[in-house]
């Protein structure tokens, strides 16, 4: 009887270890497809960083985390993998502002922590020079900070910094 229990447990261990062996690019690609986006290309891992209080208060990371639905304090101490893709069927595929217009594709950066997509950012791919819209930031789903948190960036930042002061 003990022999059969041991074999059963061994089989379960092999099965579950095989389930967690997906790469970050595979996890991200499956997530995008599940959301209904068509993956045009995988551009690679563009950044890996440890989320710390010091990292989070840097202007760049404040902006990136401001458009996440999740609380960044829940991930302090975790390693964040950022995977870049070009997709279609995204809300920003039809974005336009003045003379700038999306080419019908969207660049997305997915944040992966502990083998799970926890958020990310997106931006329309503009015909010509994409750097013209770097002042805009959207969530993975193409939403602004006010659409996600019902407040502007400065208010969100003040609230986060107050919570950071109390964070141990």
pLDDT(90) > 90: yes
Residue 33 lies in a domain: yes
Residue 7 lies in a domain: no
Residue 121 lies in a domain: yes
Residue 12 lies in a domain: no
* Range from 56-65, 99-108, 126-135 carrying the lowest mean pLDDT: 126-135
| DSSP one-letter string for 98-161 | TTEEEEEEEEEEEEEETTEEEEEEEEEEESS-GGGGTT--EETTS--HHHHHSS-HHHHHHHHH
Helix (H) or strand (E) holding 93: none
Provide the token pair at 21.
Answer: 């062996």
Residue 15 lies in a domain: no
pLDDT for res 16: 55
User: Please, what is the Cα angle at 109 between 83 and 52, to 5 degrees?
Assistant: 80
Could you tell me the residue range of the domain that residue 34 belongs to? 22-166
pTM, two decimals, is 0.84
Taking only the tens place, the pLDDT of each residue in 93-117 is 999 988 888 999 999 999 999 999 9
Residue 150 lies in a domain: yes
**Phi then psi for 136, rounded to 5 degrees?**
-90, 145
Residue 53 lies in a domain: yes
Taking only the tens place, the pLDDT of each residue in 7-19 is 656 565 555 555 5
Confidence of residue 69 (pLDDT cuts 50, 70, 90): very high
Number of domains in the chain: 1
pLDDT for res 138: 97
3-state secondary structure of 27: helix
Residue 2 lies in a domain: no
pLDDT for res 31: 97
């Amino acid at each position: 009887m003990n022999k059969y229990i041991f074999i059963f447990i061994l089989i379960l261990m092999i099965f579950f270890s095989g389930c967690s062996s997906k790469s970050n690019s595979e996890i991200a690609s499956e997530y995008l497809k599940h959301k209904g986006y068509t993956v045009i290309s995988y551009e690679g891992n563009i950044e890996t960083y440890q989320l710390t209080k010091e990292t989070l208060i840097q202007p760049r990371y404040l902006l990136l985390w401001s458009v996440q639905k999740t609380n960044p304090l829940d991930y302090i101490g975790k390693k964040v993998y950022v995977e870049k893709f070009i997709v279609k069927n995204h809300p920003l595929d039809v974005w336009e502002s003045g003379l700038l217009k999306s080419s019908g594709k969207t660049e997305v950066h997915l944040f992966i922590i502990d083998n799970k997509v926890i958020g990310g950012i997106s931006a329309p791919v503009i015909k010509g020079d994409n750097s013209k819209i770097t002042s805009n930031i959207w969530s993975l789903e193409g939403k602004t900070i006010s659409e996600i948190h019902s407040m502007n960036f400065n208010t969100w930042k003040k609230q986060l910094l107050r919570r950071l002061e109390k964070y141990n």
